Structure 1
Amino acid sequence: MNDSLLDTVRRYVETDADGQAQTPVPGLTTIRSTAPSGLVYAIPRPLVCLVLQGSKQVVMGTRIVSCRAGDSLLITADVPTVSQVTVASIAAPYLSLVLDLDPAVIADLAVEMPMEPDAGRVAVHAQPTDAEVADAALRLMRLLDRPAAVPVLHVQLVRELHYWLLVGRHGAAIRRLGGPDGHFRRVARAVAMLRTGFAQPLRVDRLAQAAGMSPSSFHHHFRGVTSLSPLQFQKQLRLIEARRLLRSEGLSASSAAFAVGYESVSQFTREYGRLFGLPPVQDTLTQRRAHR
């Protein structure tokens, strides 16, 4: 890993509180943690995470992926994950740089780059970060010191970073994101609809239509990409957002339940406890005690 990238990110986040922070470059965020974290439940968009200091662990189903400083974590599908920062301290915080992968940029680059797509279906990978990826990320971070240059130059630097990812260790797995009409991209259109409208009643026929598939084919390919049925996917989106509302916004359990689309508070409480291990009120109290 390029030590200058670590130094640059460290300086950039040194006055930030722990957590994730969006940079002025769209889709580029930093993550900082001064202590090992609790479990974080999410359905992230496709991304690459450059771990610069400390370590983290990501669980997808029964698959456990560990990442330490110098590794890149790649998530190529909207799959449910449980992540946890495992090594971090005040003296040496966990630091990482996260870039959302852009299928349009990948598709454009792939036209000029003959590569075979990844035949596997594993959506979470960890590999040592390629030197060219670290160098491109460093130049992108240095751009933040020149705010006037960001809107002019960031697009080409983000494109270059995608290029080095495509020709590097993660390339074959990333390439399928750019397929113009494959099942992956079709399902992605339905996922985008679910993400924006998860609080609304589920209309599988509309999702299948957006994906250009029959309902039965859509169910099959949706589960193949995300590991969940559309209903399970919507339920996890609702519960993850409800947990955020409880913890960050201070909503009551009933208010959070209705805000994310539940009509029954008792059903919400059961499903929340099934996913997170504790009912809403107890889970929130436990989180507050841990941060006192």
Structure 2
Amino acid sequence: MTLSNIISQTSKYIDFSADTPVDQVSPMPGLILLKSSRTTELAASIYHPVICLILQGAKETTVGERTLSFAAGESLIVSHTVPVISRITRASDKEPYLAMILEIDLGILRALYHEIEEIPADKESSTALNVDTAGEDLLNAMSRYLALADRGVEKKVMAPLLLKEIHFRLLMAPHGKMLRRLLEHDSYASQISRAIAHLRDHFRQPLSMPMLAKNTGMSESSFYANFKKVTETTPLQYQKEMRLIEAQRLLRNGHSSVSSVAFEVGYESPTQFSREYSRKFGVPPSEEMASVRVSV
């Protein structure tokens, strides 16, 4: 299976005309096909556990202070929910950026982990984002999963089997080491995953390091070090990123005022919020809100 074969498959679902510079569709459960014929500016977002396979073009993603560049034929495995900054760096009308993004199902991974007798050993530590060349087996499995989109009964029967195969390929891949750590009983990766889930659901509330550390069964110093090892940022910075990204979403959706957005995402001081928002996005929140009103 080659990338050109998979690109041909996507033409059934993606609009490749110049009149549609950006197109995004979901032909199968958990699967997104994304096309952009334009490069993009840096944008903040939240990455959830996924496999992102680049079929054409190139992208750049920054997590913490580390920047990952990946291009056609490479895949990004995201094991934990993390705030990032990313941009498409190679795209054109003739050869648009094209990616397949599939949600990682931890339930499928856990079931597989107990079935496999020989899991690759990992001596080196890893982080939540890892990039490597997509193996032939993974390409084949992703292609066959996409091919089921128009196949009725075959889709109903075969889709769960192919999802299991894809997850198996990810689990055994060289850049799947953090997924393997995540599945180990009481590993630092699984403990930090629990802390991330709490922060994701309660980022508006004051941060309690002692409580987070206690919930993961770690000392505060160990929790801090392991959190940064996985996410490449500190718990406080993680919370701040979650708040600011949510604030940007609210402002762009026409929220009533900057102060109400500040309080909505957990800030006690609108002034501090405005200062940190400006530092993060390069424009004050009032200007962000004004630009949305003008465009509407």
> Structure 2 length as normaliser, TM-score?
0.85
Q: Is the 8 A contact 2:254 2:293 kept in 1?
A: no
Counterpart position of 1:95:
98
Q: Does 1:114 align with 2:114?
A: no
Look up the equivalent residue of 2:6 and give its one-letter code.
Answer: L
Aligned to 2:33: 30
- List, as ranges, runs of 4+ consecutive aligned residues in structure 1 with deviation greater than 4 Å: 19-24, 147-152, 283-289
In structure 1, distance between residues paired with 2:24 and 2:213: 33
Query: Structure 1 residues 49 and 285, CA, compared in 2 at 3 Å: closer, same or farther?
Result: farther
Cα distance change on mapping 1:209 and 1:150 into 2, 3 Å:
farther
Identity %: 37
The runs of 5 or more residues in structure 2 that have no matched partner are none
2:187 counterpart of 1:187: no
- Look up the SS of the partner of 2:163 in the other structure: helix
C-alpha change, 1:229 and 1:66, in structure 2 (3 Å) is: closer
Q: Work out the CA distance in 1 between the residues paired with 2:130 and 2:205.
A: 33
Structure 2 equivalent of residue 239 of structure 1:
244
> What is the match of residue 175 of structure 1?
180
Question: How far does residue 214 in structure 1 lie from its aligned partner after superposition?
Answer: 3.7
Q: Superposition pairs for residues 109-258 of structure 1, below 5 Å?
A: 109-111=112-114, 112=116, 113-117=118-122, 119-146=124-151, 150=155, 152-247=157-252, 249-251=253-255, 252-258=257-263
Q: State the AA in 2 paired with 1:124.
A: L
Matching residue's letter, 1:18:
V
Report the Cα offset of residue 186 of structure 1.
0.8
| Separation in structure 1 between the aligned mates of residue 152 and residue 7 of structure 2, nearest angstrom | 20
Matched, 1:266 2:271: yes
Pair 1:63-2:78 in alignment: no
- TM-aligned CA distance change 1:240 to 1:181, over 3 Å: same
Could you tell me how far apart the structure 1 residues matched to 2:23 and 2:209 are?
A: 35
- Kindly provide the CA deviation profile for residues 106-164 of structure 1, in whole angstroms up to 9, marking residues without a partner as x: 33323413310251334433222111111111111122223565555433211100112
Q: What CA distance in whole angstroms lies between the structure 1 residues aligned with 2:87 and 2:251?
A: 20
Q: Residues of 1 paired with 2:279 and 2:260: CA distance? A: 19
Q: Deviations over 1:166-214 (max 9, x none)?
A: 3334243432222221011011011112112222233434433432334
Deviation at 1:274, TM superposition (A): 1.7
- RMSD (Å) for aligned C-alpha atoms: 2.8
